[in-house]
Chain A
Amino acid sequence: MRQLNAFIKKEFTEQLRSRRLYILGAVFLFFGIMSPAAAKLMPKIIELVAEQDQSFKIEAVKEVSALDSFDQFFKNVSTSLIVFVIMQAGIFTREYSSGTLLLSLTRGMERRKVIAAKAFTLTAVWTACYLVCFGTTYAYTAYFWDMSVVNDLWTAVLLWWIYGLWYIAMIVFFSTFLNSATAVIVCTGAIFLAGDLLAMIPKAERFIPTYLSGSSGLLRARDFDYTPALVITLVSIVLLLSASVPMFNKKQL
């Protein structure tokens, strides 16, 4: 337990002192503000454009609601997730190339605890950033608009958070056998693309983790059966993390 605690503490010190945490926090905060702001300003922008350009004809400027703000949020949070993955993909590989991990391991640091500490840190950072982003959007939205039109916001938010965990599991898994952050990013991206491609098969779509990224459908009480994708995502997170341990044990450093 002391080993794990010491390693987690070291990971957090690194997140803080490398400024990674601040940068991510700023990015997530920015998008948290941008979502309601964009929703608020959109009609004004459209009006402006329409005034200047007569050919730009608007059928009817629709009334902006809390739904638009949250739509923006779920769009923006995927951009934030990409930033998160890019910034955190090197969490293992940095230690391979510098040899810092090797020294810890010769001291008897257990490899599975290295995985546990890093997975925990990533989860904590993702959760904190996600909360900052959503919290900001939520506060502004609740202030500006009537929230009663929003259906099942919390499930949608939770599903998207789990969707983020799936990427963390992939970073961990790919890091146990790849040696560069770029390779980890490329493989994670490849899985995302593969998911997107598979989702073009109508029958398969519901079963693919990427389906969860459309959780905002819940806000409009649309027919959105997320259970199969959720189960598969959770199972694959567990599988990825548990496969990481033997993979990492085999890795020569």
Chain B
Amino acid sequence: MPVLEIKDLVKSFGDKQVLKGLSLTVPEKSIFGFIGQNGTGKTTTMKTVLGLLRADSGEITVAGEKVVYGNTPTNRHIGYLPDVPEFYPFMTAGEYLAFCGEISGMDRGEIRSRSEELLEAVGLAGEKHRIKGYSRGMRQRLGIAQALLGRPRLLICDEPTSALDPVGRKEILDILVRVREETTVLFSTHILSDVERICTDVAFLREGVISLGGSLSEIRRSYRSDIYILEPEGSEAAAALKAAFPMLTDTGSGSFTFRDTELSPFEVMSFAAERKLPLIKLERSEPTLEDLFMEVVGQ
């Protein structure tokens, strides 16, 4: 059973339809990258999953249970890190986790041991200062700790890395990878390299629907219009190749690129072998998520 399933979700603000029948399935124990540009409706989707916004239509289930608007019982399965996490500034991290544990009805001893464990895991153990003075990275890390407190089956993080520098981003991504063993992670972002680094599954949100989604390796396979890099030796060979294959794109540094949808690499190899054209390399480069994304967007 998938941890989260969204079917035909529609949501408008006034006469502006933000989600136009979004469907999405988050499999158990995945790290799910929810990708979309600013203002496409990532936060809206997440808030609807949490029962904080009322959907116009569509159905959402968390661990098989239906989400209802308002105080939805499905939230007991979910840990949530909002896009701009703000915690009571007058508390310390430990006090805040204790408060969270109390209101979610956790056992006292469990609160203590779990808080210590999580503060350790996010690198805030022994932090005696009040949250007021925390940096953004510290706040994000505390945010992840509070979200994981009740051992949720699903961790929802809204752009956990957007406001951070590369070091801070890496810290957060590392934490997300580590928690994967015990929970499923759904996180939104517009930073594709973050997704490539850690995700097993992705969904691109575009114009209110998922324009591309599924497991990352499958997507890579099905969108295999790999890019090849061809580097001939000497300008003669280069000129001969360019004359024979006008679809080669000159990179300006003595090499060409081409897509295997336009030109077969075998054809290039046999052409070069026949004419005895010297080649330095012919290399396949994995398409980056960005290439895939551009391809989807370009359609």
A residues near B (Cβ < 8 Å) are 2-3, 5-7, 9-10, 13-14, 17-18, 98-100, 102-111, 249, 252-253
B187 at the interface (CB under 8 A from A): no
Indicate which residue in B71, B88, B105, B150 contacts A14 across the interface (CB closer than 8 Å): B88
Tell me which residues across on chain A come within 8 A of B100, comparing CB atoms.
103-104, 107
Of the residues B82, B90, B91, B146, contact of A99 by C-beta under 8 Å: B82
Query: What is the minimal beta-carbon distance from A87 to any residue of chain B, in angstroms?
Result: 15
Flag whether B52 is at the interface (Cβ < 8 A).
Answer: yes
**Of A7, A10, A102, A110, which is within 8 A of B71 by CB?**
A110
Residues of B within 8 A of A100 (CB): 86-88
Q: How many residues of B contact A (CB 8 A)?
A: 28
- Min CB distance, B12 to chain A, in Å? 14
Q: Are A103 and B75 touching (Cβ within 8 A)?
A: no
Q: Which residues of A contact B150 (CB under 8 A)?
A: 107
Question: 8 Å CB contacts to A: which residues of B68-100?
Answer: 70-71, 75-76, 78, 80, 82, 84-88, 90-91, 95, 99-100
Chain B residues touching A, majority SS: loop
With a CB–CB cut-off of 8 A, which chain A residues contact B78? 106
Query: What is the bound-complex CA distance between A5 and B99, given in angstroms?
Result: 10
User: Can you list 16 A-B pairs, Cβ within 8 angstroms, ordered by A?
Assistant: A2-B102, A2-B103, A3-B103, A6-B102, A6-B103, A7-B103, A13-B95, A17-B90, A99-B82, A102-B82, A103-B80, A103-B100, A106-B78, A107-B75, A109-B103, A111-B71
Q: Does B282 contact A (CB under 8 A)?
A: no
- Flag whether B53 is at the interface (Cβ < 8 A): yes
List B contacts of A108 (CB < 8 A). Answer: 71, 75-76, 103-105
Instruction: Give A18 to B91 CA distance when docked, in angstroms.
Output: 11
B50 at the interface (CB under 8 A from A): yes
Chain B residue with Cβ nearest A2: B102
Please provide the 9 A-B residue pairs with the shortest distance between their CB atoms, ordered closest to farther: A6-B102, A17-B90, A98-B86, A107-B104, A109-B103, A99-B86, A3-B103, A106-B80, A6-B103
B88 and A10 form a contact (CB under 8 A): yes
Q: Are B90 and A103 in contact (CB under 8 A)?
A: no
The interface residues of chain A lying within 8 Å CB-to-CB of B99 are 6, 9-10
Contact B70 A249 (CB under 8 A): yes
Q: Residues of B contacting A98 with CB < 8 Å?
A: 86
Q: Report chain A residues within 8 Å CB of B90.
A: 13-14, 17-18
Contacts of B80 in A (CB 8 A): 103, 106
Nearest chain A residue, comparing its CB with the CB of B51: A106
How far, in whole Å, are A13 and B91 apart by their CA atoms in the complex?
Answer: 8
Closest chain A residue, CB of each to CB of B83: A99
Chain A residue numbers with a CB within 8 Å of B102 are: 2-3, 5-6
| Contact (Cβ within 8 A) A104 B50 | no
CB distance from B81 to the nearest CB of A (A): 9
Cα distance A249–B82 when bound, in Å?
Answer: 21
In the complex, the answer to whether A3 meets B86 with C-beta atoms within 8 Å is no
Residue of A whose beta carbon sits closest to that of B91: A13
The closest CB in chain A to the CB of B88 belongs to: A100
Q: Which residues of A contact B105 (CB under 8 A)?
A: 2-3, 108
